[in-house]
Structure 1
Amino acid sequence: MLHYTGEKLALLGHRYSKLDVRDLPGDALLRADFNNTLIQAALAQVAQATAVVVATPVYKAAYSGALKAFLDLLPQFGLAGKLVLPLATGGSQSHMLALDYALRPVLSSLAARHVLPSIYATEAQVQWSEQEGLSLDQNLFQRINEGVQQLSDSLLALRKGSANDFDPIPFAQVRCSV
């Protein structure tokens, strides 16, 4: 799902790089070893990003411990100014809200500029085979494409001087009607 999202972003003209938290040394990750060169490189990669696509499995209504350990390494405002698209997979629909109740508050507390609507998929919606590769349920396929398009549009708006940034208006000029 994450790979497909990256490919779609590339087709829309965006550069992307992959950071797999599972590839970071577990000892350095859990001990918050900021002197580890791989940890430093991973943190620098996030710092340089304009957008971050966060993907995680969900188990027992929580995102992965490896992701939690990595997010804990980010500075207090480690996602400041960044767009974030959360993706997750889980065994059933009953874990879908874990993204909104567990992950979204953490991403927001890291000062993400905007956390886009989450995309959750059950195992039944994502299939993999050596012969055919990745196969996505039609509904999931559509939701991912919409999420990628929304992220792409937001990135383009940022480059143009964001539609979310407003010029200050003196209070004396503020008018309200109900």
Structure 2
Amino acid sequence: MATVLALSGSPSPTSRTALLAEHTAASLRARGHHTHVLALRDLPAAPLLTADTHHASIARAVSLVAEADALVVATPIYKAAYSGLLKTFLDLLPQHAFTGKPVLPLATGGSPAHILALDYALRPVLTALGAQVTQGRFVLDRHITTTPEGAIALDHDDELKLARAIGQFAHPLASPMHLAAA
């Protein structure tokens, strides 16, 4: 099975985006894939902002990207674009860091007007890094809640659409042929 890295690009410690990334990673684990979630907010600010790829934490994060067979890139949408935290991290990666890797983009936002940010802001950057970008999902913040136990609860329609997107993303990852090509 594949190794999938989920990048959470939210700067908030109580992020719905992070919940969505964790939920997606759990779904992929249930399908037999190895997953790791990297919350970019946990990276040290100074080395991140100065693209110090020799700093141990930054080097480890870049290594996780290189070692992954596929990625989930989750971001909140602010002012019709993905987060600056995600942009800062993507900018320090090597030019072809995602070459041959399937990438599932996920976004959260407060308004349906932000849905276009997936295709007009995030997709071009992922493609420039060489990603094979799959159909992403945008979920309204108000459709993401937590249960008393701390688990994520999505609006029913969003849950179905996300499950479909995860299935389309995960299906080719199960093939040894795909992993050999990546």
**Equivalent of residue 25 in structure 1, options 29, 40, 44:** 44
Any conservation in 1 of the 2:21–2:37 contact (CA below 8 Å)? no
Q: What are structure 2's unaligned runs of at least 5 residues?
A: 1-19
Q: Which whole-Å deviations, capped at 9, do the CAs of 1:11-70 have from their partners, x for residues lacking one?
A: 111110111111001111111111210000000000000100000100110100010000
Runs of 4+ deviating beyond 6 Å = none
Number of aligned residues: 162
TM-score, normalised with respect to structure 2: 0.84
How is 1:27-176 mapped onto 2 (pairs within 5 angstroms)? 27-112=46-131, 114-131=132-149, 133-157=151-175, 159-161=176-178
Any conservation in 1 of the 2:145–2:154 contact (CA below 8 Å)? yes
Query: Displacement of 1:129 after TM fit?
Result: 4.3
SS in 1 for 2:139: strand
Aligned CA-pair RMSD: 1.7
Paired residue for 1:169? none
Q: Which whole-Å deviations, capped at 9, do the CAs of 1:113-149 have from their partners, x for residues lacking one?
A: x101110011121112434632100111011111111
How far apart, in 2, do the equivalents of 1:38 and 1:143 lie? 34
Paired residue for 1:4? 23
Query: Displacement of 1:109 after TM fit?
Result: 0.4
Any conservation in 1 of the 2:107–2:138 contact (CA below 8 Å)? yes
Letter in 2 for 1:144: L
Greater RCO (Cα-Cα under 8 Å, separation 6 or more): 2
Query: Displacement of 1:161 after TM fit?
Result: 4.7
Highest CA radius of gyration, 1 or 2? Answer: 1
How far apart, in 2, do the equivalents of 1:101 and 1:44 lie? 28
SS in 2 for 1:117: coil
SS in 2 for 1:96: helix
TM-score, normalised with respect to structure 1: 0.86
How far apart, in 2, do the equivalents of 1:145 and 1:161 lie? 21
How far apart, in 1, do the equivalents of 2:165 and 2:110 lie? 21
